[in-house]
Every structure is written in structure tokens, then in C-alpha cells.
Structure 1
Amino acid sequence: MFNDIGALELVTLVILGVLIFGPDKLPKVIQDASRFIRKIREFSESAKEDIRTELGPEFKDFEFEDLNPKTFVRKQLMDGNDDLGLKEIRESFDLRKEMAEVTDAVNGRESASKDSAGGVSGGAAITAANGSPGAPDLLKKREQPAKDDRPPFDADAT
């Protein structure tokens, strides 16, 4: 329970205890606190045993730690049970490569990498999705009009 308390923290707690409770009452306070913690542990263990007996023999290997979502996910997905092929998916997904392709597409550069099907890179795929190869690239900035030109006015919009 207190495995991560170092020597400095322990000394600090002792000094605080002496200052708050005084040297006369400190042993009694420590004794009462340890008795309280022991009672809570006993109550918790008896409640767990009651639940296990009520669930029946089918759940004799039931662990309450499995109810924690992190533990459940780690046990189900990260263990050797790879029924769904998640290990292959995890290994095939390269986030850096995907981000580089998206960055190249946004900046209008041609990506050097090809996808696994032998197709075109991400930037060309976006242009093909827009229609013909001569379709305007909507990701590039337009030329700014001259200072003397008035912007278009739409009477219906105002």
C-alpha cells in the first residue's frame, strides 16, 4: 500500500505527526489508525468472499481487479490471446508514415512512399477524388486580388 514512500517522505510525515498531535498522543494516534485500516481490510475481504460465494462455482477464478477498465483491456487485448489479429494490425499501422503522407498532401508535395496495394500516394489520391487530373487543388492558396480591385459583392447575402 505504501510501497512508493521514500525516506524523506517518511521523515516529513513523522515530523508533521509530532507537530500536529504532539509526542504524547502520537503513539495512540498511530495505533488507532492502524486498527482502523485493519478493520477496513477485514471488511473488504469479507465482502469479497460473500460476493464470490453468492456468484457460485462458475466464478471461482473471478478477480475484482478485472473490473477496472484498464486491467480488463490489458488482459483481453494485450495478452497472448490474439483471436482478432490485433497484433498484426498494431504492427502494420505506422502513425509517422500516415502523418507524413497527410502533411505532404496538405502541402501539395508528392509523397515518395507507395501504399501496400501498389497504388498512388496520399496526395495523388486526393486529387483523383476531386475528379479529373486537371481539377483545381482546393488546398492551395489563391492569388490575392490587386488593391484596386473590389471584392465581389453579393446583394442577396447582405
Structure 2
Amino acid sequence: MFFDISPLELVVLVVLAVVIFGPDKLPKLVQDVMGFIRKVREFSDSAKQDIRNELGPEYEDFEFQDLHPKNFVRKQLNKHGDEFGLGELQELKNGFTRDAADASAAVRAVRADPLAKVAPGESGSATPSPTSGDRPAQPPLTSDETAPYDLDAT
């Protein structure tokens, strides 16, 4: 309701006001408070209008709520559309997500069969990867052999 005041608290405030100011002065006090609130509201509205008039016609759609940082950023992003490259950032994020999914599937495949090689781009399949055209295919190692030194890996 007003400033998070419960109905019970409001009743207590009204009873307290009646006790402090008395029933005969309370209506005059409420009128004075309402008049003061009305004058403050009129003053703030006229100040806002003066600021809008001073800013000129290019700021016709200016609202003071837009000065809040969240509202300002949201309005600027909507106004400029995809000028900031947000679509490219979304595509980049989706690419990273796909790469991470492929990598985790490859890790799961290698954990399931440590001797199998997983080809890049294959998710979850434990088939041997095709070799590149510049290197001949290597036969699988036996248990007593050590892996050869790979210059491409360093």
C-alpha cells in the first residue's frame, strides 16, 4: 500500500493521530497535509516541464525514469537495435556452448574407451579419427611401446 504499511499499522496510526491531535483538529490537519503534498507535486511537475522545455525538441521523449541506469541501458539498446553487435555476441556464445558440448562428449568417450581416438566434431562417438593427408596412419601401440614424439603437439 503506502511504503509497505500493513492495514493494522495504518489503523494504529489513525488512532494515534486522533488521540494526539483530537477529532476536531484532525480534518484541518489532513487538509493542510494534502495541500502541501499537492503543492510539492505541482512544483516537481513544473520543474520537469521546465527541464523538458530547456532541452529542446530533440528530447521530446525524455522521461526522468530513463535516468535510472537499468532503464537507460535498456532504452539505448532497444533504440539502436543490433548496432552494438549483440547478435554476433550471441552467435559466439552459442559456438562456445557447442564446442564445450563437443569437448565434454569427447572426454566421456575417451573415459569409456581410453584407447580409442575421437575425431574433432564428432560428439560421443569412439571411432578412430581420420588421419591428416600429410601423415601416414600409425598402427596402434602395443603395451610395451612408448608413444612417438609428436612435433605438432608442441
Q: TM-score, normalised by structure 2?
A: 0.48
Larger RCO (CA within 8 A; separation ≥ 6): 1
Q: TM-score, normalised by structure 1?
A: 0.47
Larger gyration radius, structure 1 or structure 2: 2
